[in-house]
């Protein structure tokens, strides 16, 4: 079975070999304060910066999940209020989590087929962080680097936090245009779940110091302090950090990966456009995600195509949230190999015609 599920998703084919190496080398039992761990952690951070084009003055931290990053942002970077711009399930959930953490959170929903218009955006005077879901995994839309940069330019004093869980390591992200970027690794990174990375601008470090929140194992100040020694505040997923290091050593720089996924994206679009019954959930090209495609038809056709796919050895992603029954999703992630891509493309061409 080839998985095109947009998370947890297909992992790199070399994972079993790297896990075997990790076992041989004793990685699974090393102490997380040891020089051996520090070496792995240091190389992984360096590779992330190099391969993903992350600015030198940005800091990178390891956390357990994207959900944990939502929590860290509310705990450690929001004094009063966060403002959430969303058009789908993950962006909305982030807003709800912020409220659970006793912060005020303003939700600004925007239409599925519309870009955010930073020039007309208004935020409350107590807004500490503007939260954007760069790639909305639930409906296959995305927010461009340009729009994120415009939001930041309009509100330079306010932090801009970006959930890039299903796009980081797959498409080029202009990290310098916002303050906090995070992703868990079971999507575009092609790794097993249980690890996330959080990328922070110098302004974030400054704000964390000013606010001074230090009540939790995952308070950002504590994380910053431990990471000065390339360590974490708790025993981390050392195996997964090692797997990330091994995969980053081999992957192409982000621009090359972006190009490859963009080409595949357009080939999928061409296959879908030939069909009368199927359409993309969102028609507006400018807001489409390149890494998650969301196809819509009536419920019966969705059921049928999923069953046919299964027979052909292909797992497509179920719809999510309010699009659960009348859509299915396709991950266009880097770990998917060329022949697997062709297999799905020809399935779509034949099945959807």
Nearer to ligand PLP, 62 or 90 (CB): 90
165 contacts ligand PLP (rule: CB under 6 A): yes
Stretch that binds ligand PLP, among 29-37, 143-151, 161-169, 206-214 (CB under 6 A): 161-169
Stretch that binds ligand PLP, among 9-17, 64-72, 260-268, 345-353 (CB under 6 A): 64-72
**Of the ranges 62-70, 101-109, 317-325, 330-338, which one interacts with ligand PLP (CB under 6 A)?**
62-70
The two tokens of residue 146 are: 């340009």
* Helix boundaries (H) for the chain: 15-24, 35-52, 66-77, 89-100, 145-154, 202-211, 220-227, 238-250, 254-273, 299-311, 338-351
Neighbouring-strand partners of residue 129:
82, 159
Near ligand PLP by CB under 6 A: residue from 41, 76, 82, 137: 137
Residue nearer to ligand PLP on the CB measure, 320 or 347: 320
65 touches ligand PLP by CB under 6 A = yes
Query: Binding of ligand PLP at residue 66 (CB under 6 A)?
Result: yes
**What is 120-175 written as a DSSP string?**
G----TTEEEEEEESEETTTTEE--HHHHHHHHHH-TTSEEEEE-TTTTTTS---G
Is 314 among the residues that bind ligand PLP (CB under 6 A)? no
Please give the Cα distance from 156 to 289 (Å, whole number). Answer: 26
Question: What's the Rg (C-alpha) of the chain?
Answer: 20
Residue closer to ligand PLP by CB (options 128, 163) is 163
Kindly indicate which of the ranges 60-68, 226-234, 326-334, 337-345 contains the residues binding ligand PLP, using the contact rule CB under 6 A: 60-68
Question: What φ, ψ does residue 298 adopt, rounded to 5°?
Answer: -75, 165
Q: What is the phi-psi region of residue 321: left when phi exceeds 0, alpha when psi lies from -120 to 50, beta otherwise?
A: left
7 is an interface residue for ligand PLP by CB under 6 A? yes
Residue closer to ligand PLP (CB basis): 271 or 288: 288
* Binds ligand PLP (CB under 6 A): choice among 37, 90, 278, 320: 90
Contacts of 161 (CB under 8 A, 6+ apart): 73, 77, 82, 129, 130, 131, 132, 178, 179, 180, 181, 182
CA atoms of 68 and 220, how far apart (whole Å): 11
Query: Would you say 22 or 66 has its CB closer to ligand PLP?
Result: 66
Q: How far is the CB of 164 from ligand PLP (least distance, A)?
A: 8
DSSP string over 49-71? HHHHT--TT-EEEEES-HHHHHH
Binding segment toward ligand PLP, per CB under 6 A, in 44-52, 158-166, 170-178, 213-221: 158-166
Rule CB under 6 A: say whether 163 interacts with ligand PLP: yes
Nearer to ligand PLP by Cβ, of 77 and 331: the residue is 331
Of 284, 277, 283, 280, nearest to 330 by C-alpha is 280
281 lines the binding site for ligand PLP (CB under 6 A): no
User: Smaller CB distance to ligand PLP: residue 7 or 118?
Assistant: 7
* Shortest Cβ 134–ligand PLP spacing (Å): 8
**Taking the complex as a whole, how short is the minimal distance between the CB of residue 7 and ligand PLP, in angstroms?**
5
Q: Which of 242, 217, 248 is nearest to 29 (CA)?
A: 242
Nearest distance from residue 142's CB to ligand PLP, in Å? Answer: 10
**Closest listed residue to residue 262, CA positions, set 296, 285, 230:** 285
Backbone phi, psi, residue 27, to 5°: -60, -35
Of 182-221, binders to ligand PLP (CB under 6 A) are 184, 187
Of 66 and 238, which has the nearer Cβ to ligand PLP?
Answer: 66
Smallest distance from ligand PLP to CB 163, Å: 5
Residues 6+ apart with CB under 8 A from 157: none
The residue ranges that bind ligand PLP (CB under 6 A) are 7, 65-67, 90, 133, 137, 163, 165-166, 184, 187
């Amino acid at each position: 079975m080839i998985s095109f599920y947009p998370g947890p998703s297909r992992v790199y084919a070399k994972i079993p070999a790297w896990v075997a190496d990790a076992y041989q080398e004793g990685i699974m039992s090393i102490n997380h304060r040891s020089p051996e761990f520090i070496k792995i952690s240091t190389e992984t951070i360096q590779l992330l910066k190099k391969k993903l084009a992350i600015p030198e003055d940005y800091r990178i931290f390891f956390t357990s999940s994207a959900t944990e990053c939502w929590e860290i942002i509310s705990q450690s970077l929001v004094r009063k209020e966060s403002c959430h711009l969303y058009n789908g399930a993950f962006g909305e959930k982030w807003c709800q989590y912020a409220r659970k953490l006793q912060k005020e959170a303003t939700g600004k929903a925007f239409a599925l087929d519309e870009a955010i218009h930073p020039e007309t955006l208004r935020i409350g005077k107590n807004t500490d962080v503007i939260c954007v879901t760069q790639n909305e995994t639930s409906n296959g839309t995305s927010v461009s680097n340009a729009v994120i940069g415009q939001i930041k330019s309009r509100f330079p004093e306010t932090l801009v936090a970006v959930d890039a869980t299903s796009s980081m390591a797959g498409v080029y992200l202009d990290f310098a245009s916002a303050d906090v970027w995070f992703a868990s690794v079971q999507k575009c990174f092609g790794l097993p779940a249980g690890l996330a990375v959080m990328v922070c601008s110098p302004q974030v470090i400054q704000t964390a110091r000013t606010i001074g929140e230090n009540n939790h194992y995952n308070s950002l100040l504590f994380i910053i302090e431990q990471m000065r020694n390339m360590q974490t505040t708790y025993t981390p997923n050392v195996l997964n950090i090692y797997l990330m290091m091994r995969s980053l050593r081999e992957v192409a720089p982000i621009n090359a990966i972006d190009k490859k996924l963009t080409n595949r994206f357009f080939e999928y679009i061409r296959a879908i456009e030939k069909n009368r019954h199927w359409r993309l959930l969102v028609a507006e090209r400018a807001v489409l995600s390149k890494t998650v495609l969301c196809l819509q038809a009536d419920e019966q056709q969705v059921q049928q195509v999923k069953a046919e796919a299964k027979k052909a050895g292909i797992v497509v992603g179920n719809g999510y949230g309010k699009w659960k029954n009348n859509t299915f999703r396709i991950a266009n992630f880097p770990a998917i190999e060329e022949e697997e891509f062709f297999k799905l493309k020809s399935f779509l061409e034949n099945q959807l015609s």
